[in-house]
């Protein structure tokens, strides 16, 4: 069996969360989908805050054998041979200062990997948003602002894509309006927010919440008024 044979990938991935690394074949435990977190609150960025821990610290998994990083190892990248060559190169290994990378370092390398794999703009935007949060937590405003700008750039690209699921499009408009507001571009934020279809109660509430923050020229990320606003039950 070739190293790049699709069968090489675990067929039971969904059952026991034990998967094989798509790069080196090492068996590892994937992110359990049913991981138990006690939800504390969700903020205006739609960042989930849990009672136990910062969810970002557990978001990415690194293969202990080859250092490949992904959020979900059941996902096998299309360009697997190219990816494996990169991950096994000296250049890739030089991205890590040591063999115990921080959450920030993991996300930085994950961004490089997904850029190389030409991931959809919505995923690249999401990685930049998460890096923005990490730098905000570290009080590093210039880098947080850089990644916020990049998140805007890639969500704009994602919004222009045709064939998006309507629920995804709604999410993109909300997040874009929020990112513009967070960067102090209130006029642009308001303009983008108008794209939100407010027929459904959930989006109407999100619209009113965001509009109030924009009108108050508030750049912060307070909690959403209700946890249920996060979940698109009728998508
Ligand atoms: Zn591996």
Residue pLDDT, tens place only, 185-213? 999 999 999 999 999 999 999 999 999 99
User: What angle, rounded to 10 degrees, do the helices at 103-116 and 80-87 form?
Assistant: 140
Residue 63 placed within a domain: no
pLDDT given at position 40: 87
Q: Is 91 a member of any domain? A: no
- Of the two residues 234 and 136, the one the predictor is more confident about is 136
- What is the structure's pLDDT at 3? 31
The rounded Å distance from CA 95 to ligand 1 centre is 16
Does 36 reside within a domain? no
Cα–Cα dist 212/201, whole Å:
16
Other beta carbons within 10 Å of 32: 10
Closest by Cα among 163, 138, 135 to 149: 135
Average per-residue pLDDT in the chain? 88
Enumerate residues with CB within 5 Å of ligand 1 (an ion).
21, 23-24, 26, 63, 65-66, 68
Distance 117 CA to ligand 1 centre (A): 16
How much is the pLDDT for 11?
Answer: 37
Q: Which residue has the higher pLDDT, 36 or 178?
A: 178
Q: How far is the CA of 137 from the centre of ligand 1 (A)?
A: 30
pLDDT tens-digit series, residues 55-90: 899 899 999 999 999 998 988 999 899 999 999 999
pTM of the full structure: 0.89
How far, in Å, is the centroid of ligand 1 from the Cα of 82? 14
Q: Is residue 232 part of a domain?
A: yes
The mean pLDDT value for 141-147 works out to 98
Alpha carbon of 113 to ligand 1 centroid (Å): 14
Cα-to-centroid distance, 133 and ligand 1 (Å): 27
Task: State the Rg of the chain over Cα.
Answer: 19
In a domain, 71, yes or no: no
Give the H/E segment covering residue 88. Answer: none
Residue 52: predicted pLDDT: 77
Average pLDDT on 40-48 reads 92
Tell me which DSSP letter residue 225 carries: S
Contact 154, 128 (CB under 8 A): yes
- 45 and 221 in contact (C-beta within 8 Å)? yes
Q: How far is the CA of 81 from the centre of ligand 1 (A)?
A: 13
Number of domains comprising the chain? 1
**Would residue 188 count as lying in a domain?**
yes
The two tokens of residue 206 are 């999100």
Residue 38, domain member (yes or no): no
Report the C-alpha gap between 159 and 170 in whole angstroms.
9
**Alpha carbon of 100 to ligand 1 centroid (Å):** 15
* DSSP notation for 17-86: -EEE-TTT--EEEPPPTT----EEEEBTT--EEESSS-GGGGT-EE-TTT--EES-TT---SSHHHHHHH
197 contacts 170 by C-beta, under 8 angstroms: yes
The alpha carbon of 186 and the centre of ligand 1 are apart by a number of angstroms equal to: 44
What confidence category does residue 217 fall into, taking pLDDT thresholds of 50, 70 and 90?
A: very high
Whether 7 has a pLDDT exceeding 80, the answer reads: no
Per-residue pLDDT, 53: 79
Q: 221-232, pLDDT tens digit by residue?
A: 999 987 777 766
Residue 216 lies in a domain: yes
DSSP 183: T
Using the mean position of ligand 1's atoms as its centre, give its distance from the Cα of residue 126 in Å.
24
> What residues make up the domain containing 195?
164-235
Q: What is the largest CA-CA distance in the chain?
A: 62
Query: How far is the CA of 219 from the CAs of 144, 168, 179, 204, 222, in angstroms?
Result: 13, 24, 9, 21, 9
Confidence of residue 39 (pLDDT cuts 50, 70, 90): confident
């Amino acid at each position: 069996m070739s190293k790049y044979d699709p069968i090489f990938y675990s067929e039971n991935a969904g059952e026991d969360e034990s998967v094989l690394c798509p790069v080196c074949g090492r068996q590892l435990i994937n992110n359990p989908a049913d991981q138990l977190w006690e939800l504390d609150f969700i903020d205006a960025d739609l960042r989930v805050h849990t009672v136990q821990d910062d969810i970002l610290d557990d978001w990415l998994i690194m293969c202990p054998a080859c250092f490949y990083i992904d959020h979900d190892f059941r996902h096998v990248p299309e360009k697997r041979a190219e990816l494996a060559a990169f991950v096994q190169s000296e250049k890739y290994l030089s991205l890590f200062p040591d063999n115990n990378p921080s959450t920030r370092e993991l996300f930085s390398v994950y961004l490089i990997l997904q850029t190389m794999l030409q991931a959809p703009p919505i995923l690249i935007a999401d990685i930049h948003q998460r890096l923005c949060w990490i730098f905000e937590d570290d009080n590093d405003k210039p880098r947080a602002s850089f990644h916020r700008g990049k998140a805007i750039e890639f969500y704009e690209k994602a919004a222009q894509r045709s064939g998006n699921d309507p629920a995804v499009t709604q999410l993109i408009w909300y997040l874009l309006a929020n990112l513009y507001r967070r960067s102090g571009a209130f006029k642009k934020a308001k303009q983008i927010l108008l794209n939100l279809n407010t027929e459904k109660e959930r989006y109407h509430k999100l619209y009113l919440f965001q509009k109030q923050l924009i009108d108050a020229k508030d750049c912060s990320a307070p909690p959403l008024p209700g946890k249920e606003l996060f979940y698109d039950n009728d998508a």
